[in-house]
Amino acid sequence: MKTKTTAKAPDARVLDRLAATIKTRARARPETSYTALLLSKGARHIAKKLGEESAEAIVEAVARDRTGLVRESADVLYHLLVLWAEAGIAPGRVWAELARREGVSGIEEKRRRRAKR
């Protein structure tokens, strides 16, 4: 009798797994890995790709295409994680910043930032 396997339900931990995959692929040859290729071209190129993917996500949002927006959002997150890797920023640093802001109004957060200038 065949046993049916069930995949884990997706959640935000997929971002940590993706970051780990990006870290591993960074050591690959650019000819064999898109991630390695992006990283070999540097921050400017990765940022450009992130901007392109962000624009595509905006287009899908304005068009009210939810499926397209989901797909483009995944591309945005991937390219953002690659940019963090290029900059030497571990996702945990960003998660910590989000946690620090949790429960603080966006208006209050902006006010705090202005006061620090």
Asked whether residue 51 is domain-assigned, the answer is yes
The verdict on residue 7 lying in a domain is no
d(C-alpha 17, C-alpha 59), whole Å: 28
Per the CB < 8 A criterion, the answer to whether 44 and 86 are in contact is no
The alpha carbon torsion through 102, 103, 107, 111 (nearest 10 deg) reads -70
Lowest mean pLDDT among 43-47, 90-94, 107-111: 107-111
Domain that holds residue 104: 13-116
The per-residue pLDDT for 44 is 98
68 in a structural domain: yes
Q: How many CA atoms, within 13 angstroms, populate the side-chain half-sphere of residue 20?
A: 5
- Supply the pLDDT for residue 11: 86
Residue at 82 is within a domain? yes
Confidence of residue 1 (pLDDT cuts 50, 70, 90): very low
Is position 76 within any domain? yes
For the chain, the domain total comes to: 1
pLDDT, tens digit, for every residue of 57-107?
Answer: 999 999 999 999 999 999 999 999 999 999 999 999 999 999 999 998 888
Residue 83, domain CATH: 1.10.287.1080
Q: Residue 7: pLDDT band by 50, 70, 90 thresholds? A: low
In a domain, 103, yes or no: yes
Q: Is residue 28 part of a domain?
A: yes
Kindly state whether residue 100 falls inside one of the protein's structural domains. yes
